[in-house]
Amino acid sequence: MAGNTQQLDGQPLIRIESVSRRYLRGVDDVHALEHVSLSIHAGRFVAFMGPSGSGKSTLMNLVSGIDRPSEGEVVVAGQSLGELDEDELAEWRAHHVGLIFQFFNLIPVLNALDNVALPLLLTDLSKAERVRRAETALRVVGLDERVGHYPRTLSGGEQQRVAIARAIVTDPDLIVADAPTGDLDARNAEAILELLRKLKNDFGKTIVMVTHDPRALRFVDQAFHLDKGLLLEGADADRADRAVQLAAGGGLISSLADVADQVRRSS
Ligand code: ADP
């Protein structure tokens, strides 16, 4: 899995130039994003963080070509997404972006192998090659012994690993993850963050993750903090980083308190 990324000569893989996204809700104009500019280099693992309604999902949808900005430009792997019509954009997404969701979005009637091979049905690869690639992807996520298992027979953490295998099976430049640890317990959440970091370290993948999970800060190269549609910068961004770090510490303290509580009750 070497990646499809073309040589970008030191250019960022993702370039967002003064992007705004407004929605009309009734008579109200909702400013979901206001003049956001940022760059992400290839091989980086970054998080979009911020309170609910701050514009994280909107930004993620623009980066992955699911949505278009009201203003500004989104360039990914040298392609300005605004230049593509709907069909071209869908084709571009299929080749360049692997998506991971909070609730895994696996097909219940397909086993792990068939779920992972699904995106390859859009290619002209032979059945044997599709199976070979799906098996490789499942090996990368550590689930090669679960190929024949159906989603309902897998744990949440295992289902998310299958979903990650599905996201990497087409060897995309970019992996976009929407709250991938949001439905997992602490142990599985850390394992999934560790796996995403491995995809970056071992396979050079670029990963953009929307998350509320303060643990994520230990795994990502950079967190972009949003608030009310604005990207926080400078001292504001540092303050937001520290607040998330404090929340992560708070999480540790409260889980230690849980353990102490359990010990007290069982003695
Ligand atoms: P976050 O992911 O940080 O919770 P979102 O990007 O989902 O935030 O939303 C940002 C703002 O845009 C919110 O006020 C939300 O209600 C609004 N919004 C998002 N999508 C739509 C839509 N399709 N129509 C109208 N308003 C929307």
Tens of pLDDT, residues 56-107: 999 999 999 999 999 999 999 999 999 999 999 999 999 999 999 999 999 9
Closest CA to 143 of 171, 166, 121, 125: 166
Residue 36 lies in a domain: no
- Asked if residue 117 has pLDDT above 90, the reply is yes
Contacts for 213 with CB less than 8 Å, ≥ 6 apart: 179, 181, 182, 189, 193
Contacts for 141 with CB less than 8 Å, ≥ 6 apart: 161, 162, 164, 165, 168, 195
Q: Check which CATH number belongs to the domain holding 156 and give it.
A: 3.40.50.300
Residue 68 lies in a domain: no
Can you spell out the DSSP letters for 25-90?
A: ETTEEEEEEEEEEEEE-TT-EEEEE-STTSSHHHHHHHHTTSS--SEEEEEETTEEGGGS-HHHHH
| Residue of 22, 57, 66 to mutate, ligand 1, most atoms within 8 A of C-beta | 57
Q: How confident is the model at residue 27 (pLDDT cuts 50, 70, 90)?
A: confident
102 lines ligand 1 (CB under 6 A): no
Per the structure, how many domains does the chain have?
A: 1
32 lines ligand 1 (CB under 6 A): yes
Q: CA-based angle 160:6:167, to the nearest 5?
A: 10
Average pLDDT of the chain? 90
Residue 119 lies in a domain: yes
182 lines ligand 1 (CB under 6 A): no
Residue 255 lies in a domain: yes
Give pLDDT, residue 241: 87
Closest CA to 58 of 228, 239, 241: 228
Q: What are phi and psi of 40, to 5 degrees?
A: -130, 125
Spatial distance between the Cα atoms of 37 and 137, rounded to a whole number of angstroms? 34
222 lines ligand 1 (CB under 6 A): no
Decide if 135 contacts 212 (C-beta within 8 A): no
Residue 214 lies in a domain: yes
Residue 129 lies in a domain: yes
Residue 112 lies in a domain: yes
61 lines ligand 1 (CB under 6 A): no
Share of the chain above pLDDT 70, in %: 90
pLDDT digits (tens, 9 = 90+) for 42-70: 999 999 999 999 999 999 999 999 999 99
Range of the domain at 215: 45-51+85-259
Give pLDDT, residue 11: 75
| Residue of 34, 52, 58 to mutate, ligand 1, most atoms within 8 A of C-beta | 58
* Nearest protein CA to atom 25 of ligand 1, as residue: 23
Cα Rg for the chain, rounded, in angstroms?
19
Residue 216 lies in a domain: yes
Atom of ligand 1 nearest to the CA of 229: 10
